[in-house]
Structure 1
Amino acid sequence: MSTDDRVLVVIGSGLKIYREYLIESAARRAAELDLKLVLVNNLKPNWQQPYFDEITVVNVFDHDELRKTVREIADRRTVVGLFSYDEPLVMPTAELAAEFGVPGLGLAGVEGCRDKHATRARLTAAGLPQPGFELTASVEQAREAAARIGYPVVVKPRALGASMGVVLAQDETQLDHAYTVASNASLVGDEPYRDGAIVEGFADGPEISIDGVVHQGEYRALFIARKETGHYPYFEEVGHVVDAADPLLSEQELTDVLTKAHETLGVENGMTHTEVKLTSYGPVIIEINGRLGGDLIPFLGRIATGVDPGELLVEIAAGHRPDTSFSRHGVAGIRFGYPEQDVTVRGVRLPTGLPGLVTASPMVEPGTELRLPPGGYLARHSFVACTGETTEECTERLWGAPGAGGRVAGPRGGTVDEARGVIAPGNQDGVTFRKQTT
């Protein structure tokens, strides 16, 4: 093993359409630091090839097999760090970082982020504003917990991302259904967190997400995304807008809550994605994820602020203090197209040439079946991303601009036009989105 052969191990590449822009930046920054990227992935590589010095295919969701594979890499190469941005993989990544003695979330930090019940318990004990909550193992326990907490309540799995299985119950008549959906959804998660569901009080107010960095325990917020959700009583995330001049970035109360929460959970090094409700009694943390955000939020952040999350992933994993100063002050947003009902996609049609839009793309192939919650999640057929001078202008362009969207075949062979959106020619920052591939 040569000390010159210094590598960063990336666990899981994600889908090209969502994550290639990160890997492209990460590979460039790694080269500048005389590091090589090594990928451990569950699928045979195609688009990933140019960015990695070595790629090993293994079932990354079998954590024992994953650990064995990464240890074998460490036996013959000098591993200086690891990172992952895939929710089911953040825990084994952090555990391996601790084993190798390289920067990572830390064992306490990854547990506090991954286990939503542990998050609630620790933040409550630290005196941070939190809704009432209980971990329940049966619908009978869920009913009793909801009665104690008071309706409306949110019922959700203990350890999933992307709002999968999260359901609002306004009263007792909706509770049984909400519990069944959440508990069933938990079965696709890590084994220790399967079955049952968390019942918690509904925090009323606008929802935001904050992508931030932690270096040696010091937390810094990067950018804030204003979130749009839909498909009541579920919480599908249908759009986000990032403004580099968002006044919340300088709001001391929010900063204090975020800082204390990360300290309380014991997060050591990494990027986090925190979801917060802005309630009448202050900012309330809904969850902290031990990874950067999905939904192309980091891409929006890069356009709006100039901060490159792909570069930060490398710097933090390699133990460097990252530079998070803004080089731009803009606004960028995204909207995802959903069908109005369960459908089979006939095709996705996107217009061209309207001002302000960065890029757009279909996200499914013709013939794909899309099922809305609770039958399925993230039933997206397309997206559009745009910029604007202000948050209001960007939002109006995303949600108010005329134009065609995805054309999908309905259950009776009819069609519905959905996901009104527009596309501008070219791309931003050299990023071009194409059809989704694995």
Structure 2
Amino acid sequence: MARRVLILVEGATNMLLFVQAAKRLGLHPVALSADTARYDYLAAEGIEAIRIDTGNLDALVGECSRLGATYDIAGITSAQESTYATVGKLCRYFDLPGPNPESIERCCDKFAQRQLLAGAGVPIPAYRLAANAADIESAAAEIGLPVILKPAVDSGGSNGVRLCRNAEELAEHTTYLLGGKHIWRSSPRILVEEFAEGPHYSIDIMGNEVIGISVLDFWRPPHFVYRELTYPAVLTDDEHDRIADVSLSCLRALGLGWGPTNFELRWTKRGPVVIEVNPRLPGSPGPQLVQLAYGVDLVTEHIKLVIGDEWNLRRSNSQTAAARFLVADRDGTLDWISGNSRAAAVSGVAEVKFFVEPKTPIFRKYDYRDCIGHVIAASSSLAQTKAILQRAVDLIDWSITPFPAEKE
């Protein structure tokens, strides 16, 4: 009998979680990636990683057909938003369970997403689409400062996203986005949005069921670099219900509801305002926190859906779980980073993870890529979890030597 294989087309920060979950389900995972070096850790798991242009549907069909001659393809999926629509097309081609690719493509275009949500009466920030500096200046004047400036596509993890509080910051970020520093896969399309002020929440849905609502804190503006993520968010019953209702309205408006969806919104003076909808699982450490807080393994249950098995979304836990992100405070060379063993020994700490090795050059991007590690903790109460996190983080330290100043 042919071995059952799960094909993973890219995996972002969740690739290892998918590989480990697939193996627990008795599947043989195979990773397809345009850059297999980013998953070099898979070799230790004995996992095959095949280099291929994951933006080329025909090439992927050919590779999956080749794998199908040796294996029984149980399912095809991805944890990366930019390849998720392609996965939907692959699943349709091979008659496997998968997401609707047209719905995914519309959702991944933040301008198209905004239009659909607005048409359905979902509360969203005021917005305009811009293609050049004049458009941006005009849109900001219409909406009124402060505004958010971000790419209409590929802005995940706050990539290219900035709060512009005045004309100087607006001009500065316009230059960044249009002056060659930001990498565009196609012609520049920029969203200029009203800044929705208030607590920032992240909502995880599987199918049509709300699994968890977390609160996400950022380091200081004008950038949106993650500081802390906590499950569950402290909400009144009314706030919880209103957030859940708005999230489900988004699903209907966008034609989603198969598999996982992650929402971000802010609670403003006018209630919940949707910031964005992501047709995928949350990035790591979101799935780990959901499992600690609620006892639901999002990755495993997603794979069950992908291979046609019945999932189990029943909660088996009730804790407060939180992650603190360790963020580089300057550009330079990471001399050393230490304290992980001491931090991991603190009672209640679930994981301490460093993402970079000593002697690594650090170039801050002012988005998720500035995180050099995280600490995860869980306990029976919010106050206790926060205290555990702080004790652990206080035991970690690092040194970054700034790059030498260039001579004029």
TM above 0.5: yes
Shift of 1:243: 2.5
In structure 2, the residue matched to 1:177 is 172
Work out the CA distance in 1 between the residues paired with 2:290 and 2:393. 25
Match for 1:173: what amino acid? E
Work out the CA distance in 2 between the residues paired with 1:9 and 1:186. 34
Query: For the aligned residues, what is the CA RMSD?
Result: 2.8
**Which range moves more in the overlay, 100-109 or 125-134?**
100-109
In structure 1, the residue matched to 2:296 is 307
> 34, 50, 56: which one pairs with 1:56?
50
2:109 matches 1:115: yes
Work out the CA distance in 2 between the residues paired with 1:358 and 1:7. 30
> 84, 87, 90: which one pairs with 1:90?
84
Structure 1, gaps ≥5 residues long = 414-438
> 152, 158, 167: which one pairs with 1:163?
158
In structure 2, the residue matched to 1:421 is none
> 297, 320, 323: which one pairs with 1:334?
323
Work out the CA distance in 2 between the residues paired with 1:244 and 1:196. 34
The structure-2 alpha-carbon separation of the partners of 1:245 and 1:407, relative to structure 1 and needing over 3 Å to count, comes to closer
Match for 2:82: what amino acid? P
In structure 2, the residue matched to 1:382 is 373
> 122, 131, 141: which one pairs with 2:135?
141
The secondary structure found in structure 1 opposite 2:173 is: helix
The structure-2 alpha-carbon separation of the partners of 1:307 and 1:12, relative to structure 1 and needing over 3 Å to count, comes to same
The structure-2 alpha-carbon separation of the partners of 1:272 and 1:153, relative to structure 1 and needing over 3 Å to count, comes to same
Work out the CA distance in 2 between the residues paired with 1:224 and 1:185. 37
Match for 1:140: what amino acid? A
Work out the CA distance in 2 between the residues paired with 1:355 and 1:88. 38
The secondary structure found in structure 2 opposite 1:48 is: helix
In structure 1, the residue matched to 2:6 is 8
* Residue-by-residue CA offset, 1:147-200 (whole Å, 9 max, x unaligned): 1112211000112211111000113232122223345689545x34x4131101
In structure 2, the residue matched to 1:409 is 400
Match for 1:166: what amino acid? V
Work out the CA distance in 1 between the residues paired with 2:280 and 2:180. 21
> 220, 225, 247: which one pairs with 2:214?
225
In structure 1, the residue matched to 2:23 is 27
Structure 2, gaps ≥5 residues long = none
The structure-2 alpha-carbon separation of the partners of 1:382 and 1:167, relative to structure 1 and needing over 3 Å to count, comes to same
- Assess if the C-alpha contact under 8 Å between 1:165 and 1:185 holds in 2: no
TM-score by length of 2: 0.87
- Between the two proteins, what is the percent identity of the paired residues? 25
Alignment of 1:252-271 (within 5 A): 252-271=241-260
In structure 2, the residue matched to 1:131 is 125
> 345, 358, 361: which one pairs with 1:366?
358
- Assess if the C-alpha contact under 8 Å between 2:350 and 2:378 holds in 1: yes
Shift of 1:114: 1.0
Work out the CA distance in 2 between the residues paired with 1:245 and 1:27. 35
Work out the CA distance in 2 between the residues paired with 1:108 and 1:249. 34
Aligned length: 398
Work out the CA distance in 2 between the residues paired with 1:245 and 1:28. 33
In structure 1, the residue matched to 2:383 is 392
Match for 1:316: what amino acid? L
TM-score by length of 1: 0.82
- Assess if the C-alpha contact under 8 Å between 1:24 and 1:310 holds in 2: no
- Assess if the C-alpha contact under 8 Å between 2:36 and 2:49 holds in 1: no
